[in-house]
Amino acid sequence: MYAIKKEGKKIAFKFELKDIKGGLTFFSEDNDFVQVGAWRYDKGKQLLAHIHNFVRREIDRTQEFIFVVKGSIKASIYDDNENPVKDLILNSNEGLILLSGGHGYEIMENDTVVIEVKNGPYIGAELDRRRLEKK
């Protein structure tokens, strides 16, 4: 796993399935708007039943998590000023946690499958995002 940063600000995290150690592994930090973790336990492990309390959270931007199940994509990462930061290839069993800035994707293989998770509620494309011009 590694962080993608610009001028000390975390913009994204990339990880691979091999980064998932025994027990509970979180890739995001407690103060990130998107929380992404993974479990690796043996048969018989029980996780105690629980319910999440209602906690008011103020979130002012949509953040997302993508995971490439099959195939590959090119992810282009931008800072908050729409400047390119990094292009990277994500292959099967790799994920990306996007914390700030912008992003674009190019599918690199036929029949690529990606899972995307983002915070909601969804308020529509016109209010939720704006297209970036290529620089």
Q: List the CATH number of the domain containing 45.
A: 2.60.120
pTM for this model (two decimals): 0.82
Q: Is residue 76 part of a domain?
A: yes
List the strands of the sheet with 102-107, edge to edge: 84-91, 72-78, 102-107
Q: Are strands 72-78 and 102-107 parallel, antiparallel or unpaired?
A: antiparallel
Q: Is residue 6 part of a domain?
A: yes
Q: Is residue 133 part of a domain?
A: no
Q: Is residue 29 part of a domain?
A: yes
Q: Is residue 70 part of a domain?
A: yes
Q: Is residue 100 part of a domain?
A: yes
Q: Is residue 66 part of a domain?
A: yes
pLDDT tens per residue across span 57-114: 888 888 899 999 999 999 999 999 999 999 999 999 999 999 999 999 999 999 999 9
Domain range enclosing 15: 2-128
State how many domains the chain has.
1
